[in-house]
Structure 1
């Protein structure tokens, strides 16, 4: 579990592909003595397991699921990536609860200056928009951000100078693809309220359902 506060901007040192999976090595300023074999590190918001470390870098395997659902598979050697180590129970929850399990790839539709902040409008599959609410939280490439506006197919966030300078968003422009993780609490609430047998993403509260259950 993570909190969406980026610790370091790492650099992709090596990406060894093997079929639909791969192994990445990331250079980082995180002290090697603080890294533990098998620990979780979020790379652009993707939870990965450390399988080796040393010489100022760590290595992690990337599954076919992660390559297919995230922007990790589109990165080239030298690319910068957002890094965050797993949350400790004693830490302050400065962002929001982030699992490191990316829901979808978003595409930046617009980047514009908005006084002291940069406002990004990001398009996302409509099936995921149900989990976003205005003033709620969303993770964009692992960065905890507040949702400022929501439509049927996009949402907007404002990024302050501090966050922009310390994350990969400083290099993102219209057309850039970013990893999106919606609020995990919303998914659990939807699952608990879903009638038995109902399919995810389908309208559950219908006139037929209300009639069958004695509400009409």
Structure 2
């Protein structure tokens, strides 16, 4: 799990195609890797990647076909700037929101509007994901926890403060940019809980007569 509070930015160093999926090497910039070991998770532009190798100022990871189909990794080129966050611990402050690192799909930047010292970014979500984006709720964009300030059908607005722009990849966003989108987990869980089940519970042989014969009831 992650918080969506970016700890550092790095960049894509190397991409190797391996029988349908990818192996990547990431330069981790100023991210402290001293407490990271093989098998740990690092959110890389919002994608939870498992560390397969550690080296000076970086790590390697594998990217499955499923991840490639839902994220922007198959379009990244060498030098692509990336938002990085190590997995949270029990003692970590939850400054953003609960982020799984399991990207739901791709959103597109449709408008960028300066507003005083902030910048408003309008994005368009896939229609099947738009319903999970509530006003004043949280979304994760390229690994950044952000608050939704306005909604218009599939379009939603994010108001970004200068600190976030300075310490993430948002400064590189342009109209037309494609970004990794993870919607709020709570919205997904609620939908599942409230949706009528299409599966019937298996028949049970349990009866009052059986319970009485076994001595559980009088």
What secondary structure sits across from 2:6 in the alignment?
coil
Q: Secondary structure at 2:34's aligned position in 1?
A: helix
* Partner in structure 2 of residue 103 of structure 1: 104
Q: Provide the C-alpha distance between the structure 1 equivalents of 2:71 and 2:131, rounded to a whole number of angstroms.
A: 20
How much has 1:19 moved relative to structure 2?
Answer: 4.2
- Whole-angstrom CA distance in 1 between matches of 2:17 and 2:176: 25
Task: Output the CA distance in 2 between the equivalents of 1:140 and 1:126.
Answer: 17
**Does the C-alpha gap of structure 1 residues 90 and 32 become closer, same or farther in structure 2, counting only changes over 3 Å?**
closer
Confirm or deny that 1:148 pairs with 2:154. Answer: no
Please say if 1:168 is aligned against 2:169.
yes
Residue 31 (structure 1) aligned with residue 29 (structure 2): no
Please tell me whether Structure 1 or Structure 2 has the larger radius of gyration of its CA atoms: 2
Question: What is the TM-score with the length of structure 1 in the denominator?
Answer: 0.89
Any gaps of 5 or more consecutive residues in structure 2? 200-218
- How far apart are the structure 2 equivalents of 1:174 and 1:67? 22
User: What does residue range 47-86 of structure 1 map to in structure 2 within 5 Å?
Assistant: 47-86=48-87
SS at match of 2:24: strand
Whole-angstrom CA distance in 1 between matches of 2:192 and 2:165: 34
Instruction: Give the deviation of 1:20 after TM superposition.
Output: 3.0
Q: Tell me how many residue pairs correspond in the alignment.
A: 198
The separation in 2 between residues aligned to 1:79 and 1:63, in whole angstroms, is 19
CA RMSD in angstroms, aligned pairs only = 1.1
Report what 2:20 is aligned to: 20
Give a deviation string over 1:68-104, Cα, whole Å, max 9, x none: 1101111111111000000111111000000000111
The 1:31/1:92 distance shift into structure 2, 3 A limit, reads closer
Aligned to 1:134: 135
Q: Secondary structure at the match of 1:67?
A: helix
TM-score for both structures, normalised by structure 2? 0.88
